């Protein structure tokens, strides 16, 4: 038993197994091969469709059949990954050149998914059939065993174009990801041909042919100057904008129509864009929007935003670019499997890898064709020779006892046992010496081949065969000849499938939105005890003072351009713009401040709400549960961030009170156990907001501060201590950090 136990370091086993797993995901699942630009699932799906005979000019077949066959033979990783791959290869809004011709509901640009695989049908597109799979019978690529070694599949498809660049690719592996944008087929082919003619071309020179990415959705690339670095290194960021046109209605209203969207907006991004545009109006960033509608159809994208007559259209466009995904960033990372390992490559290297692959596949192709032509030539020469001595051949056949005797005579000149008419015939028979293949062809030749026209056709075929052999040998021995053949193939593809560029390439300055100046006025802010807040007319505060005190925790006058500062028991400060709150009447409900800030009403409690501009003119007193006190200049809370720490708290401590210091002379701390301590406000020092503060009162065991009161010089105030009224002004003024006196219940 001990002999079968292998002792090893656990970390080494984990490391080895993880590396094996990572490489399996990288090579066998997530990343495309730079040679054919296909991931394994894509390659296997296309090959299976080829095996099923789903040619572009034949009937469609159910997608479920394709998925099941692919999964059973080549890709045992679940049907969803195969069907998703099949769907994407059929979507012309995701791929520049679809490889699958789909029939049925294969989804749309707005994010609606494809129908179930039992409903849709598919077949190969013409481009995929003619340029991805057509030469598989010519031994152009290696075939490898499938997962259970019952079938064989191509290690790579003999793709004739730089497909990795044309259709792009997205994939997430372990520790790495690929995100290659699609490109214009014609431009990529032009660049590859140019590089074949002059291998010394630089990336910058190749970009005379490849202007930049060409997305199926069109749009505008706005950072053309960054593209040379991106194509040199293989990574970077491309900024893309949707295309917008302006229409004017008879009533003077302006319609802003989005006719092309950024590639990154495909799917749910369109719905998110509509929500974001609506939010611009709801959040009062603009008041120019009258209506928004999505009128997109099979004819193309048409998102209509109706604007008011006096709208600054250019400024509104810039608002869309800044606040929505109408302008977005596409992260480029041209990572692919190259020579068995993942590598990020630039434009030139990718094109060179494609060229090298073309030379490899064409070398194998023409070697196969050359061998076939040489075999054909051998047989043709044997038949021609036999026709020239047909009488002797017939005499051999008639005089032989069986096929083996006749073949032995034709190949080796052995005449034993064969009856000849004359000795001269027997002597001539010994000199024939046909090859094995020639002898078989002669023995199988039909008599009609002796007709004159048939003989002429045989001689003509022989001439063609000789010419083909000469041509193939020239292609295989002369790299320039091979290069011309590849270039011609590429030009044929360009002519058949090339299309005009959809995406514009330009240098456009970053969008700058200038917000309309808001007329500054006084408004009233109110918030009830449940945290619902709103703004009202400032005059309503003066008219309804009594109702405000009974129904609302906080109410004050502020500017409509200002912010509200919310201090919580957890020591946080949240700021809310007055414009983010709904304007209404006093009895309107308002909205929870949670909706317009990061405040969480379930986890903390608001201690003070105040106008941020008012705080700049005063100081604030902070008192905590553990009796830590400090005064902070209100200007420290004039911050741009929506959430900051208003004070520093010890473990287990929380804020009990935050008060704006105005004319208060003394302050009184009340504890849970009924102790009161009154001392001058001036004894609390001013500190920064990130300080803990000083101790305001000595607390007994398990005691804590629960209330804070303030008195002016002539102030009178009653406190209720468990039903016992306490006249605070009668309390003795002591010093800070005392124990205080206990109020005896009556």
Phi, psi of 86 (to 5 degrees): -60, -45
pLDDT, mean of residues 139-152: 92
User: pLDDT tens digits for 192-210?
Assistant: 999 999 999 999 999 999 9
Domains 16-179 and 363-496 share a fold: no
pLDDT, mean of residues 163-184: 87
Catalytic residue ranges: 119
User: pLDDT tens digits for 78-135?
Assistant: 899 999 999 999 999 999 999 999 999 999 998 888 999 999 999 999 999 999 999 9
Q: Cβ(102)–Cβ(84) under 8 Å?
A: no
Pick from 5, 6, 107, 129: nearest CA to 63: 107
746 pLDDT band (50/70/90 cuts)? very low
Structure tokens at 598: 């990061």
Pick from 128, 88, 123: nearest CA to 106: 88
Provide the Cα torsion 272, 278, 279, 280; round to 10°.
120
Can you state the angle between helices 436-444 and 347-388, rounded to 10 degrees? 60
User: Which of 11-20, 324-333, 440-449 is predicted least confidently?
Assistant: 11-20
Question: Which pLDDT value is given to residue 2?
Answer: 56
Q: Is the model's pLDDT at 176 over the cut of 70?
A: yes
- Measured in whole angstroms, the distance separating CA 666 from the mean position of its chain's CA atoms is 62
Torsional class of 188: left (φ above 0), alpha (ψ -120 to 50), beta (otherwise): alpha
H/E run at residue 580: none
User: pLDDT tens digits for 42-92?
Assistant: 999 999 999 999 999 999 999 999 999 999 999 998 899 999 999 999 999
Q: Cβ(699)–Cβ(671) under 8 Å?
A: yes
Q: Is the model's pLDDT at 498 over the cut of 70?
A: yes
User: pLDDT tens digits for 349-385?
Assistant: 999 999 999 999 999 999 999 999 999 888 888 888 8
Residue 454 CB-half CA count within 13 A: 10
What lies within 8 Å, CB to CB, of 260 at 6+ separation is 217, 218, 219, 242, 243, 301, 502
The SS3 assignment for 704 reads: coil
How many CB atoms are located within 10 Å of the residue 652 CB? 8
Residue with tokens 């100057």: 225
Q: Cβ(680)–Cβ(686) under 8 Å?
A: no
User: What distance in Å separates the CA atoms of residue 292 and residue 256, rounded to the nearest whole number?
Assistant: 9
User: What distance in Å separates the CA atoms of residue 516 and residue 286, rounded to the nearest whole number?
Assistant: 8
Question: Which pLDDT value is given to residue 449?
Answer: 65
pTM: 0.75
> Where do the structural domains in the chain lie, given as residue ranges?
16-179, 243-325, 363-496, 522-742
Q: Which range, 8-12, 162-166, 385-389, has the best average confidence (pLDDT)?
A: 162-166
User: Fold for domain 16-179?
Assistant: Topoisomerase II; domain 5 (3.90.199)
- Bridge partners of 568, per DSSP, are 606
Question: Which pLDDT value is given to residue 736?
Answer: 92
Distance set, CA 321 to CA 46, 517, 653 (Å)? 40, 20, 46
Distance set, CA 378 to CA 159, 410, 605, 684 (Å)? 32, 15, 97, 112
User: What distance in Å separates the CA atoms of residue 110 and residue 266, rounded to the nearest whole number?
Assistant: 6
Residue 597 CB-half CA count within 13 A: 30
User: Domain 243-325, CATH 3.30.1360.40 — does that match?
Assistant: yes
> How close are the terminal C-alpha atoms of the chain, in Å?
86
Residue 342 CB-half CA count within 13 A: 23
Torsional class of 6: left (φ above 0), alpha (ψ -120 to 50), beta (otherwise): beta
Question: Which pLDDT value is given to residue 509?
Answer: 86
Q: Cβ(105)–Cβ(115) under 8 Å?
A: yes
Structure tokens at 713: 């010089």
User: pLDDT tens digits for 720-739?
Assistant: 776 778 788 888 889 999 99
User: Fold for domain 522-742?
Assistant: Neuraminidase (2.120.10)
What CATH number has the domain spanning 363-496? 1.10.268.10
Q: Is the model's pLDDT at 742 over the cut of 50?
A: yes
For the chain, the average pLDDT equals: 89
User: pLDDT tens digits for 407-466?
Assistant: 888 888 787 877 887 788 888 888 888 888 888 888 887 766 666 667 788 888 889 999
24 pLDDT band (50/70/90 cuts)? low
The SS3 assignment for 533 reads: strand
Residue 379 CB-half CA count within 13 A: 15
Residue 606 DSSP label: E
User: What distance in Å separates the CA atoms of residue 66 and residue 88, rounded to the nearest whole number?
Assistant: 15
Pick from 581, 575, 512, 564: nearest CA to 283: 581
**How large is the C-alpha radius of gyration of the chain?**
43
Question: Which pLDDT value is given to residue 37?
Answer: 92
Q: Cβ(84)–Cβ(75) under 8 Å?
A: no
H/E run at residue 526: strand 522-527
Helical segments of 74-157, H only: 79-90, 126-128
Question: Which pLDDT value is given to residue 516?
Answer: 72
Question: Which pLDDT value is given to residue 309?
Answer: 86
Question: Which pLDDT value is given to residue 550?
Answer: 77
Q: Is the model's pLDDT at 712 over the cut of 70?
A: yes
Question: Which pLDDT value is given to residue 405?
Answer: 84
Percent of the chain with pLDDT over 70: 95
- Bridge partners of 609, per DSSP, are 566
Residue 732 DSSP label: P
Q: Is the model's pLDDT at 175 over the cut of 90?
A: no
How many CB atoms are located within 10 Å of the residue 707 CB? 16
Length of the chain in terms of residues written: 746
What lies within 8 Å, CB to CB, of 685 at 6+ separation is 630, 631, 694
């Amino acid at each position: 038993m001990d002999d079968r136990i292998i002792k090893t370091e656990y970390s080494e086993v984990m490391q080895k197994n993880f590396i094996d797993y990572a490489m399996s995901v990288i090579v066998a699942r997530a990343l495309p091969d730079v040679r054919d630009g296909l991931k394994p699932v894509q390659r296997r799906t296309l090959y299976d469709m080829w095996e099923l005979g789903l040619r572009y000019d034949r009937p469609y077949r159910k997608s479920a059949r394709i998925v099941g066959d692919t999964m059973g033979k080549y890709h045992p990783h679940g049907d969803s990954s195969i069907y998703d791959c099949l769907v994407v290869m059929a979507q012309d809004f995701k791929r520049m050149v679809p490889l699958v011709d789909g029939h049925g509901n294969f989804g749309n640009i707005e994010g609606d998914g494809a129908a179930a695989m039992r409903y849709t049908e598919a077949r190969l597109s013409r481009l995929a059939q003619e340029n991805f799979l057509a030469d598989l019978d010519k031994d152009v690529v290696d075939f490898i065993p499938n997962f259970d070694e019952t079938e064989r599949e191509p290690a790579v498809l003999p793709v004739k174009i730089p497909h990795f660049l044309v259709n792009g690719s997205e994939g997430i592996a372990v520790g790495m990801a690929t995100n290659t944008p699609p490109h214009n087929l014609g431009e990529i082919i032009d660049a590859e041909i140019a590089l074949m003619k002059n291998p010394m071309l630089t990336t910058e020179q190749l970009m005379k042919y490849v202007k930049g990415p060409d997305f199926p959705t069109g749009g505008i690339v706005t950072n053309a100057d960054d593209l040379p670095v991106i194509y040199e290194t293989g990574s970077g960021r491309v900024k893309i904008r949707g295309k917008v046109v302006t229409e004017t209605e008879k009533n003077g209203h302006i319609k802003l129509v989005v006719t092309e969207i950024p590639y990154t907006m495909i799917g749910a991004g369109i719905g998110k864009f509509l929500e974001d545009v609506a939010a611009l109006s709801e959040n009062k960033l603009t008041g120019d929007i009258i209506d928004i509608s999505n009128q997109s159809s099979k004819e193309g994208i048409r998102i209509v935003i109706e604007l008011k007559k006096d709208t600054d259209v250019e400024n509104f466009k810039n608002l869309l670019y800044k606040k929505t995904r109408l302008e977005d960033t596409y992260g480029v990372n041209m990572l692919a499997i190259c020579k068995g390992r993942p590598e990020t490559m630039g434009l030139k290297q990718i094109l060179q890898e494609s060229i090298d692959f073309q030379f490899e596949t064409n070398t194998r192709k023409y070697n196969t064709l050359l061998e076939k032509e040489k075999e054909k030539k051998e047989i043709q020469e044997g038949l021609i020779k036999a026709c020239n001595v047909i009488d002797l051949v017939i005499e051999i056949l008639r005089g032989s006892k069986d096929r083996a005797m006749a073949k032995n005579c034709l190949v080796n000149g052995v005449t034993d046992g064969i009856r000849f008419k004359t000795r001269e015939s027997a002597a001539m028979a010994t000199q024939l010496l046909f090859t094995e293949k020639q002898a078989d062809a002669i023995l199988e030749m039909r008599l009609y081949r002796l007709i004159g026209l048939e003989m002429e056709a045989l001689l003509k075929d022989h001439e063609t065969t000789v010419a083909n052999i000469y041509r193939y040998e020239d292609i295989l021995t002369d790299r320039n000849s091979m290069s011309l053949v590849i270039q011609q193939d590429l030009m044929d593809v360009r002519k058949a499938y090339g299309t005009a560029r959809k995406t514009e390439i330009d240098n456009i300055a970053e969008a700058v939105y200038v917000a309309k100046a808001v007329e500054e006025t006084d408004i009233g802010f109110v918030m009830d005890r449940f945290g619902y807040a709103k703004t009202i007319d400032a005059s309503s505060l003066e008219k309804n003072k009594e109702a405000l005190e009974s129904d609302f925790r906080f109410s004050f006058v502020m500017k409509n351009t200002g912010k509200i500062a919310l201090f919580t028991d957890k020591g946080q400060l949240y700021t809310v713009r007055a414009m983010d709150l709904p304007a209404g009447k006093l009895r309107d409900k308002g909205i929870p401040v949670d909706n317009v800030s990061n405040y969480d009403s379930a986890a903390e409690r608001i201690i003070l709400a105040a106008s941020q501009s008012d705080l700049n003119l005063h100081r604030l007193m902070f008192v905590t549960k553990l009796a830590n006190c400090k005064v902070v200049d209100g200007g420290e809370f004039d911050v741009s961030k929506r959430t900051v720490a208003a004070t520093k708290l010890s473990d287990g401590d929380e804020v009990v009170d935050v008060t704006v210091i105005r004319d208060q002379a003394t302050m009184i701390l009340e504890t849970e156990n009924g102790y009161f301590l009154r001392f001058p406000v001036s004894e609390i020092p001013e500190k920064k907001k990130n300080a803990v503060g000083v101790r305001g009162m000595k607390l007994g065991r398990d005691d804590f501060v629960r209330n804070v009161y303030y008195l002016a010089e002539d102030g009178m105030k009653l406190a209720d201590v468990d039903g016992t009224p306490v006249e605070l002004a009668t309390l003795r003024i002591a010093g800070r950090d005392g124990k205080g006196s206990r109020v005896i219940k009556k």
